[in-house]
Structure 1
Amino acid sequence: MEFKIKRGDLTGQKTPCLILGVFEKHKLSEPAEAIDKASGGHLSDILRKGDMDGETGRTLMLYGIPGVSCERVLLIGCGKRKEFNRRSYRKALAAAVTLLNDTRITTALCTLPEVIPAGMTRYRTVRDAVTTCADSVYHYDRTKQEKKSPRFPLKRLDLWVAEKQDTQTAQEAVRHGGAIARGVALAKDLSNLPGNICTPAYLADKAIDLGKDYPELRVEILEEKDLEALGMGALLSVSRGSRQPAKLILMEYRGGAQDAKPVVLVGKGLTFDAGGISIKPASDMDEMKFDMCGGASVFGAMLGALELALPLNLVGVVPASENLPDGDANKPGDIVTSLSGQTIEILNTDAEGRLILCDALTYCERFEPDVVIDMATLTGACAVALGKHPSGLFTQNEQLAAEILTAGEAAGDRAWRLPLWDDYQEELDSNFADMANIGNSRWGGAITAACFLARYTKQYPWAHLDIAGIAWRSGKKKGATGRPVSLLTELILKRSGQLK
């Protein structure tokens, strides 16, 4: 979808559909008041008849409004004016765009970004309009014979701003929002593909394609023979149970100073996880194709940085594998040696994400990173603790914790910090190896998983995002969310000086 900024007299705007906000108790937004005045109170008359009460997300399409140039007016409910916040703003936007996308209207003009919710700015309302609307019209049909995309999809949404001095800010927000939206869509596309298509080799090919599209991106794929030569015994132990060879996908973008230390993003790329010998229950196992959402989010964030040509150095690292039961697969009680030289007793083969991540995190030392952030659908325990709303954040670096939490709040892609105390480390004690791959009890599973990773990240500032609760939706709307691409892109926008 294309987005453009429009300004000028709202009553004279020639558009197939003008979107206006309405609050509860028949209160009109300021743009709606202007249209109401030009129409001789036509909107107020309709609202008084009770056709719409302003409840968030409720819609009412009007035709033949006197005194204005638009063909139609779409009234969208925004809830109570005093309670109008980011959540209700996004809900209103999504409802409006979903309705338009299901009709024959291919172009519309939206005034909702002019109705700024509490705690937001002009930049944020415009950027949220772009990302929310793009998310609302996202449609997956790659593996469907009958394509059910709208016959007349919404192709362009113009965003209206009242004041000339806001135009530059709004245009910058559209540019940033568009790059984030495309990054999110890429992450969704990769994550939604089934495991028989999106294999480790497929992810590697996608990285190579990205490098062809953006020559400033250097891509390197380490094959199993390379991983064996390096000594990545933990990663290779996971792929032994699969016919699909493991890959370590490396993407380097050098947009900053030559001597500037890079930001390194590491994403778990488990393209399918059956649990190995410690096999998962059959129910909902199909959703384990989403176990590579961390890796997909690295692709999405890299795309955003490339499209915006951000002035920073960024490295993406995606360890990719499958985890399946096989005669050569890891067995409970096996001991493997990681790239760091530390040995690991595998008590549960379904705790494989940390095995592929630990070798990737050790490999990151050679980049001499300014910071390393990994993201992984690592533990169901994190989803139990936090539900489906925030990512779980783990780090011992106070400054980095504040930076990530702030970025999440700003992007509307929130994280919540959980403890990473040494008290939990003893849970990983093993009689036979330097550590076990799971805790000795069922308590604090997300924390002990993060503690495991922390043992491989002592050479640089590091944070871990457990995205098991937020990476995909189940049920009727099953599919990837593309999170935390927005959080990551917000963070690198700030680090590159593009946001104050």
Structure 2
Amino acid sequence: MTALTLSTAGAATLRADAIVVGVAKGAKGPVVAPGAEAVDKAFDGKLASVLETLGASGAEGEVTKLPVLSGLKAPVLLAVGLGPVPEKDATYGAEPLRRAAGVAARALSGVKKAAFALPVEASEDVEAIAEGALLGAYAFTAYQGGEKNAKKGDGPKQPLGEVALLGAKPRDKAHKAAAERAIALTEEVNRARDLVNTPPNDLTPESFAAVATAAGKENGIKVQVLDEKALAKGGYGGILGVGQGSANPPRLVKLAYTHPDAEKTLALVGKGITYDSGGISLKPAGHNETMKCDMSGAAAVFAAVVTAARLGLAVNVTGWLALAENMPSGTATRPGDVLRMYSGKTVEVLNTDAEGRLVLADALTRASEESPDAIVDVATLTGAMVLALGNRTFGIMANDEAFRTSIHEIAEEAGEASWPMPLPADLRKGMDSPTADIANMGERMGGGLVAGLFLKEFVGEGITWAHLDIAGPAFHEGAPYGYTPKGGTGASIRTLVKLAERTAAGDLG
């Protein structure tokens, strides 16, 4: 785990294995960003010219490494691009700093200590740089190398060991609070990434529930786990129907964080399909390999509740993890079967690969019984949303336009790409069933919106609700970029935590 320290030491005097500076893209070439004045002085004020000679332009995400011959205690200089020089009286902004810090942390994998001399003008900059560095330094190595190979030095390359954040004052309350928030948030985002990346033979509904139970004990969160017997007794037909084809039975986990000064309650519901084969409606070849990520919504909810507890937010946050494994077998739900849901409604299952909405429906109904001020569900729900918004943007649907807008704004502030999506009433008719109250499939076109309309049916009357479809950004299959690694990303967690903070401050949206 990468450590973070705040330091008022000068960039020229701090002992580190590498020093990181920012470079912006100016009209006439690269411009050394604030925070790197002492480093520039060590190059006789010609650092920008040296970097330009080496091909640097200051473009976002660009990395230039060069040795330091004299004037600095660090033997290596890493210049990272921040993008365009800000306009007059403007700052670089949180997201460019976050991304630059992430790029630098990844580029310095294996280094013991690096000093980050990026622009710091306010506590928001401290938080952004800390977040980016700690998220960018993430690596999932649990299944690589092995103990014997590690002793030989053949194990996986370890992440950056320590980040010293220059310009951040350890005795400044705002700077210290910003760093502490960043540490708590990124540790939980990275734990969620670990869960998403864990192979499905090791992460089952039962073992996921055990992780949540242990975290609850550590952080003062009440945890309740409903096993298959309790689910059957309670009538959770959706969760049971999805999980009945697997040798690993389903679970519904409730995490409840409460604060004595809380005036509002936020309920978060997460889809937790620990592996999705599609069931009897088996996925085609090429679509199964990454389906361990289908529990990313539950991982996000879990991380958000734990982060709220660690930050001591004055809001009650309840998390519901709907956990199941969707497998084909002689006991699996068949297309054409009818399930009686926890709400009492019946659902005709036309496609067993539209299973996420079934487990979420039961959890949404159960969460509604406690009359929270708002419910937000998170799920890798539809391929249609990926087709609509791509791999880096999640969709937001809601039964309240102002709430949908608020979440979109919060996501933007948190640095997560999202887009408001409609819930067209005319698409509801496509889910009419001649046999049951509703079918789990509707029109093919607008499939992501159809799924949202299905979930809306199971939200309690009068409760503000939003649905985040994170199917695109939850699992990244390409090369790492910014602070985003290959594999599980922890999508939507930062948005959920900021929503909880806004709610604690009296602004639910």
- What is the TM-score with the length of structure 1 in the denominator? 0.90
> CA, structure 1 residues 341+183, in 2 after alignment: closer, same or farther (shift >3 Å)?
same
Given that 1:389 and 1:414 are in contact with CA atoms closer than 8 Å, whether structure 2 keeps it comes out as yes
AA matched with 2:218: D
- Aligned position for 1:154: 160
Structure-to-structure mapping, 1:69-468, within 5 angstroms: 70-82=74-86, 88-102=96-110, 105-114=111-120, 122-146=122-146, 148-150=155-157, 153-161=159-167, 167-214=172-219, 216-257=220-261, 260-439=263-442, 441-459=443-461, 460-468=463-471
Conserved? CA contact 2:269–2:320, under 8 Å: yes
| 2:215 partner amino acid | L
% identical equivalent positions = 34
- Please say if residues 14 and 71 of structure 1, whose CA atoms lie closer than 8 Å, have aligned partners that are also in contact: no
Q: What TM-score do the two structures reach when normalised by structure 2?
A: 0.89
Alignment CA distance shift 1:325-1:38 (3 Å)? closer
Q: Aligned AA for 2:204?
A: T
What CA deviation, in whole Å up to 9, does each residue of 1:334-358 have, x standing for no partner? 1111111111111111111111111
Return closer, same or farther for 1:156/1:348 CA change in 2, 3 Å cut-off.
same
In the alignment, does 2:490 pair up with 1:482? yes
Q: Does 1:64 align with 2:76?
A: no
Residue equivalent to 2:483:
none
Question: Aligned to 2:108, what secondary structure does the other structure show?
Answer: helix
Q: How far 1:476 moved relative to its partner?
A: 5.8
Gaps of 5+ in 1: 117-121
Per the alignment, in what secondary structure is the counterpart of residue 36 of structure 2?
helix
C-alpha distance in 2 between matches for 1:76 and 1:483: 24
Flag the 1:40–1:462 CA change in 2: closer, same or farther, 3 A.
same
Letter paired with 2:40: D
CA RMSD of aligned residues (A): 2.5
Displacement of 1:126: 2.1
Q: CA deviation at 1:309?
A: 2.0
- 3-state SS, counterpart of residue 362 of structure 2: helix
1:321 is displaced (CA, Å) by 0.7
* Compared CA separation, residues 380 and 199, structure 1 to 2 (3 A): same
Length, aligned pairs only: 486
Query: Which protein is richer in helix relative to its size?
Result: 1
Aligned mates of 1:386, 1:451 — CA distance in 2: 18
Q: Following the alignment from structure 1 to structure 2, what is the Cα–Cα distance between the partners of residues 350 and 494?
A: 36
Q: Distance between the aligned counterparts of 2:132 and 2:375, measured in 1?
A: 28
Of 451-460 and 136-145, the range deviating more from structure 2: 136-145
Report if aligned partners of 1:139, 1:149 keep a CA contact under 8 Å in 2. Answer: no
What amino acid sits opposite 2:499 in the alignment? L
The separation in 2 between residues aligned to 1:465 and 1:55, in whole angstroms, is: 32
Q: Partners in 2 of 1:40 and 1:458 — Cα distance?
A: 67
Quick one: distance in 2 between partners of 1:390 and 1:476? 17
* 1:30 partner SS: coil
Q: Check whether the contact 1:358–1:453 (CA below 8 A) recurs between aligned residues.
A: yes
Q: Give 5+ residue unaligned stretches, structure 2.
A: 481-485
Q: What's the CA shift for 1:429?
A: 0.9
CA separation in 2, counterparts of 1:499 and 1:71? 48
Gap change, CA 1:327 and 1:166, over 3 Å in 2: same
- Please say which of residues 235-244 and 21-30 is displaced more in the overlay: 21-30
Tell me, in whole angstroms, the C-alpha distance in 2 between the residues paired with 1:499 and 1:468. 28
- 2:320 and 2:83 mapped to 1: Cα distance? 43
Q: CA deviation at 1:154?
A: 2.5
Residues 299-347 of structure 1, C-alpha deviations (whole Å, 9 max, x = no match): 1112211221222211110111111111221111111111111111111
Question: CA–CA distance in 2 between the matches of 1:65 and 1:498?
Answer: 53
Q: How big is each residue's C-alpha offset from its partner over 1:59-109, in whole Å with a ceiling of 9 and x where there is no partner? A: 12231333x55554333333432486655444432332223223xx42222
Aligned to 1:30: 34
SS at match of 1:235: helix
Inter-CA distance 184–13: structure 2 relative to 1 (3 Å threshold):
same
CA deviation profile, 1:166-208 (whole Å, cap 9, x unmatched): 9433222211111110111111111111111100001111111
Q: Bigger shift: 125-134 or 469-478? A: 469-478
For the 8 Å contact 2:14–2:74, the answer to whether it is kept is yes
Q: 1:41 to 1:123 in 2, by over 3 A?
A: closer
Q: Which amino acid aligns with 2:115?
A: L
Q: Which residue of 2 aligns with 1:119?
A: none
- Could you tell me whether the CA contact under 8 Å between 2:365 and 2:460 is conserved in 1? no
Please identify, of 377-386 and 416-425, the stretch whose mean Cα deviation from structure 2 is larger: 416-425
Contact 1:113–1:159, Cα closer than 8 Å, also in 2: no
Distance in 1 of aligned mates of 2:163 and 2:419: 33
